[in-house]
Structure 1
Amino acid sequence: MTAAPTTGTARRPADAEPDVIRNPVLRGFHPDLSLLRVGGDYYLATSTFEWLPGVTVHHSTDLVNWRSYGGVLREPRLIDLSGNPDSGGVWAPCLSYADGLFHLVYSDVKSFAGAFKDVRNFVTVAESVDGPWSDPVPLPGHGFDPSLFHDTGPDGDGRSWLLWVDWDHRPGTNPFAGILLQEYDRVLRKVVGPVQRIFTGTSLGCTEGPHLYRRCGWYYLVTAEGGTSWDHAVTVARSRSLRGPYRPDPAGPLLTSAHRPELELQKAGHASLVETPEGDWYLAHLTARPLTSRGACVLGRETALQQVDWTADGWPRVAGTAGKGTPSLLVPAPPAAAEQPSSRAAELPEENPDGFGAGSVLAPQWMTLRRHEDPSWLSLTRRTGWLRLRGGESLSSRHRQSVVARRQQHTRFDFRVTVSAWPGSPRQMAGLVHLYNTELWHYLHLTWDEDLGRVLRVAVCDRGKYSETADPVAVGPGLVVLRLVVRDDQARFQWALWDLGRCEEWFPIGPVLDSGRLSDEYATVGDPATGHYSSWGFTGAFVGVCAQDLTGSGWPADFAAPVYHDAEDGSAPDGPDPVLPLPMEPRA
């Protein structure tokens, strides 16, 4: 990927305290990243899988501080995820820049369990990251993780090239059959010419996530290898010719956490390089932070940055604090980057840590599940200060759910929301949900009981098995405030009545729940020996609100004042202290 040139670079005074990059720079579910610089602006694009809007993009001018645009695939014409499997949908986007346009390529994975992967790859372009984006153009679809390389540097020929993973479903073959290369015509917006296999990987296997770069007369192919779990790694191969052959770095992986379970940043892999205006190099990569050694990663796969140096003979190196090629929590930031002029920062939406959004549009941190934001089921204007959801299908549906949620970004957090809902049937429900996918969730909700009237129930779905973990609790008239308190792998629901602007008393409801189940590891079910899985976990946990109306009448429920509270410093939730059998002190 090519960065547009920058002028007027200013440097920080020599005696100023340097900034530090603190990893992960994007907390919570932000995997399969693509890092791009255009002038003084950096962009990180990450996978969103079944969540909408598709492809989350963050912006920075210093690699230290990041602001979110939210997702950029915001319309059905750009992506349709109805019916997509859990952890299907948008995989591994690549954001690049040429001809004054942002080029976004991405996979839409329609099925991937077992031997086959049904994948649709697309490219769309826009003058601004915030859109509008052009109608997507299909690309070759017999593989995934597409990326574009524009050979538009001083020594390049100006042509563009598409790379992607060749997937081979046949028994007895290596399913990760190599990295394919084909020319891409930017004017016609289609691939042209022959397809070439330029790399078949190293002994680590599972070669995927290709990105191509040019430096000092060499073409560098950066790939992910070792699978997406504990043996994940970043490998580099290079060639004097764009078409190869590509020879891997004899020193081994550029970055990995494999065989180092003591490291806080695990699963390091799937990376993207960027050069700063001053000539410094950085590597963005995915990572994960398990609750225990090789335990549950409830935050999913996150994004981190590492500094890269180059050897005298032209190979990149990451000098981690725990040894060569290991990820570091603290990384020196590039000098003077904070003073680099930005041409696009004004386009960013205003930050709004709490609340559902301003005007008629959800704030960037909120996402919907397989269903684009649409006034037919979601409104921020029907009732001032409230989010209204029309009840949709059940939490087990892969089609028309009414869910608005945000990423879980801390292992210890509290989330509360006020609910105004008057169900008239057991098939009408609305409340607070902590979920991973359609088969893994915890749900505190208002519903109706023939004997008790309006009640609260706690429902749990554990790998598709539904249960209710407490007797229903009758709730009188008025607004109800629901709260979730999570401490590592323990979670507890609470509720209170909203009376005269405050919650007089919080009541626990249901048992302590195992929130460690809402993790990549627990969601993944299959046979490592064959490599065929019935389900995968790629997304991390979400917390938010939802409404169901299984009568089909579109019954409404309203939500207000959502508050997500980071409790990793040991602080209690806002309001009265909860009475919970949970550790409230900071972790050692």
Structure 2
Amino acid sequence: MTTLHNPLVNGFHPDPSIVAVDGWYYLATSTFEYLPGIPIHRSKDFETWELIGHVATRPGQLGAESVPTGGGAWAPTIRHHDGRFHLVITDAMGRGMLHFTADDAAGPWSDGDLIVMADGSESVFGIDPDIAWDADGTCYITFSGLLLSGDLDPNAPTHLGIQQVRVDLDTHTALEAPRSLWSGTGLMFPEAPHLYEIDGSWYLMIAEGGTERGHAISIARGDGPEGPFEGAPGNPLVSARSTPRPIQNTGHGDLVVGPDGRWLCVLLGVRPRSGTRAFSALGRETFVTEVTWRDGWPGIAPVELNPRPGTRVDVDFSAPLDAEWISVRRFPDEVCRRDDGRLVLTADGSTLADARPVFVGRRQEHLTNEVTVRLDVSAGTGGLAVRYDERFFVEIEADGQSVTARAHIGGLLQEWTAAAASNVVDLHLASRPPQAAAAMVTTSDEFHLAATVDGTRIDLARVDGRFLSSEVTESFTGRVIGVYAVSGEVAVSSWVAEGHDG
């Protein structure tokens, strides 16, 4: 029987969608303002997952280059129909609702077609689109509807529930005005709809309760893709709210039959820590749990924690960057180049407090984690940082004369500096379990920032990790650890990341 690891995919990988094709499973997740956008992971056994590519690998496919923080690639749905892969997604505050296609899920994917209203005037306005076809080939886009005007304040009545349109994919035009479908049990923010035909019935599965601690999955059943839909008697099918489970915020799921014939649900969740489990350091990750059927209704088991062993990533930059490297609102090759076995970053006047920094990094995948880089700053100033967004990041920087650690916390700044007269330094950034000073641990972890200069380690600072958690930053993303430049050129000759979830 297949071993279900949880997290299924570690680190910032929210809003999972999955499809099975010819014995392979293909998983797509959200990326927001990071590029390349929309990673595609592949597995045959549901245990080992390989990142095979991204949907958005070229400028212009997404409007992420200019989206505000929190915008960009929201909640894909990946499906396979008539021999092609299809992916629909909302490029929030960017291009709008988009449809991509590819012959191979590894890419290349199409440029992305905007799905427009029946009069062709504007994009269908909503988030979390799903794509499905009935037996006669009619295409349905089902989505979470939002008002076109006004601020999207979750405390204001701007949500329109789950809506649907029939779409002509030749012209990417809605054939009707959006229709309202079943929108759950009355919890806030019905979203993440997925539509399935199973054994002659149509099922509409949604998330509701918000993507925070109240997150849940509910389902309804009807005779056709347009409904009407009747909610399951056991809704919500899964939620971790008000439980002591180590995985919280469970919701936003997608169904698939697993390799051993069991039905499975992939879904997002977080791993909060502290005495009250208040802070989720890594943001929303992808998890999986078993689904059982009874009397025509699915039941979704609670999500169980089952982490994989720790990992080590050792990069010497003698080969091209692998697909795990990402940058903020631009592609990695726009901010760095390889030169004689080193990764070189050229500053452009921006800093990590700007929307488009000279920064390239990888997701933090483990709760206990340490990254060490060797940096040559003979021609510039730069460093190593862990980032949530422009207002929440922690960095350690070298300029050839000194090393400085800084904590940028929502507009507050604290820094620590030590002399370091060397052009080549090793910078260390670690996330470690907190050292409890009281009866109850009040944070998720602690950052330890240090440098090694001419063989001597300089411990600069210890920073409370709660300030870079999804709850404090209110971010949809997660921690990304990377190197950056703020003046001249800096060169990175090695990168070592080690972590585990013990």
TM-score normalised by the chain length of structure 1: 0.77
For 1:227 and 1:490, the matched residues in 2 are separated by 28
Q: Which of 67, 89, 95 pairs up with 1:84?
A: 67
CA contact (8 A) 1:182 1:196 kept: yes
For 2:297 and 2:174, the matched residues in 1 are separated by 31
Q: CA deviation at 1:70?
A: 4.5
CA contact (8 A) 1:70 1:365 kept: no
CA contact (8 A) 1:480 1:496 kept: yes
Residue matched to 2:144: 165
Residue matched to 2:351: 394
Q: Is 2:483 the counterpart of 1:545? A: yes
User: Taking structure 1 as reference, are residues 557 and 20 closer, same or farther at Cα in structure 2, changes over 3 Å only?
Assistant: same
Letter aligned with residue 327 of structure 2: T
1:146-161 superposed matches below 5 A: 146-151=129-134, 156-161=135-140
Letter aligned with residue 412 of structure 1: T
What CA deviation, in whole Å up to 9, does each residue of 1:238-261 have, x standing for no partner?
11121111111111111110111x
Residue matched to 2:456: 505
For 1:558 and 1:80, the matched residues in 2 are separated by 30
CA contact (8 A) 1:178 1:200 kept: yes
Residue matched to 2:425: 480
User: Taking structure 1 as reference, are residues 138 and 218 closer, same or farther at Cα in structure 2, changes over 3 Å only?
Assistant: same
SS in 2 for 1:521: helix
User: Taking structure 1 as reference, are residues 164 and 462 closer, same or farther at Cα in structure 2, changes over 3 Å only?
Assistant: same
Q: CA deviation at 1:363?
A: 1.1
For 1:405 and 1:196, the matched residues in 2 are separated by 42
For 2:207 and 2:496, the matched residues in 1 are separated by 37
Q: Is 2:392 the counterpart of 1:420? A: no
Q: CA deviation at 1:174?
A: 3.4
Q: Which of 338, 353, 356 pairs up with 2:313?
A: 353
Q: Which of 198, 211, 216 pairs up with 2:194?
A: 211
For 2:290 and 2:199, the matched residues in 1 are separated by 19
Q: Is 2:410 the counterpart of 1:463? A: yes
SS in 2 for 1:556: strand
For 1:276 and 1:458, the matched residues in 2 are separated by 47
User: Taking structure 1 as reference, are residues 356 and 88 closer, same or farther at Cα in structure 2, changes over 3 Å only?
Assistant: farther
Residue matched to 2:437: none
What CA deviation, in whole Å up to 9, does each residue of 1:374-398 have, x standing for no partner?
3x53112xx2221111113111111
Residue matched to 1:310: 293
State the superposition RMSD in angstroms: 2.2
CA contact (8 A) 2:317 2:342 kept: no
User: Taking structure 1 as reference, are residues 446 and 294 closer, same or farther at Cα in structure 2, changes over 3 Å only?
Assistant: same
Q: Is 2:160 the counterpart of 1:177? A: yes
For 2:104 and 2:167, the matched residues in 1 are separated by 21
Residue matched to 1:273: 255
For 1:371 and 1:356, the matched residues in 2 are separated by 23
> Across the two proteins, how many residue pairs are aligned to each other?
475
CA contact (8 A) 1:211 1:221 kept: yes
Q: Is 2:493 the counterpart of 1:560? A: yes
Q: CA deviation at 1:420?
A: 0.6
What CA deviation, in whole Å up to 9, does each residue of 1:216-241 have, x standing for no partner?
22110111100011110011011112
For 2:298 and 2:5, the matched residues in 1 are separated by 21
For 1:79 and 1:418, the matched residues in 2 are separated by 33
Q: CA deviation at 1:352?
A: 9.4
What CA deviation, in whole Å up to 9, does each residue of 1:290-318 have, x standing for no partner?
0123311001111111111111x200012
For 2:88 and 2:210, the matched residues in 1 are separated by 22
Letter aligned with residue 363 of structure 1: D
What CA deviation, in whole Å up to 9, does each residue of 1:194-231 have, x standing for no partner?
43211233222210011100112211011110001111
CA contact (8 A) 2:95 2:114 kept: no
Q: CA deviation at 1:62?
A: 1.1
Q: CA deviation at 1:188?
A: 3.6
Letter aligned with residue 486 of structure 2: Q
Q: CA deviation at 1:159?
A: 2.2
What CA deviation, in whole Å up to 9, does each residue of 1:452-494 have, x standing for no partner?
x7221112211022332x2x32322342110112213211111
Residue matched to 1:101: 84
Q: CA deviation at 1:72?
A: 2.7
SS in 2 for 1:433: strand
Q: CA deviation at 1:46?
A: 0.5
SS in 2 for 1:20: coil
Q: Which of 434, 441, 457 pairs up with 2:393?
A: 441
TM-score normalised by the chain length of structure 2: 0.89
For 1:273 and 1:300, the matched residues in 2 are separated by 22
Q: CA deviation at 1:31?
A: 0.5
CA contact (8 A) 2:362 2:481 kept: yes
Residue matched to 1:122: 98
Residue matched to 1:517: 467
Q: CA deviation at 1:89?
A: 1.2
SS in 2 for 1:516: helix
Residue matched to 2:441: none
What CA deviation, in whole Å up to 9, does each residue of 1:111-153 have, x standing for no partner?
xxxxxxx7711111111112222121112342111121133xx
Structure 1 spans left out of the alignment, 5+ residues = 1-17, 111-117, 321-325, 332-350, 448-452, 499-503, 525-536, 550-554, 570-588
User: Taking structure 1 as reference, are residues 557 and 485 closer, same or farther at Cα in structure 2, changes over 3 Å only?
Assistant: same
Letter aligned with residue 497 of structure 1: V
CA contact (8 A) 2:317 2:341 kept: no
Letter aligned with residue 489 of structure 2: P
Q: Which of 59, 62, 65 pairs up with 2:48?
A: 65
For 1:378 and 1:49, the matched residues in 2 are separated by 21
CA contact (8 A) 2:203 2:219 kept: yes
Q: CA deviation at 1:42?
A: 0.2
User: Taking structure 1 as reference, are residues 189 and 414 closer, same or farther at Cα in structure 2, changes over 3 Å only?
Assistant: same
1:273-292 superposed matches below 5 A: 273-276=255-258, 279-292=261-274
For 1:201 and 1:275, the matched residues in 2 are separated by 24
Residue matched to 1:364: 323
**Could you tell which deviates more after superposition, 77-86 or 56-65?**
77-86
Q: CA deviation at 1:51?
A: 1.0
Letter aligned with residue 224 of structure 1: A
Letter aligned with residue 353 of structure 1: V
1:247-266 superposed matches below 5 A: 247-260=230-243, 262-266=244-248
Q: Which of 484, 488, 493 pairs up with 2:449?
A: 493
CA contact (8 A) 2:428 2:450 kept: yes
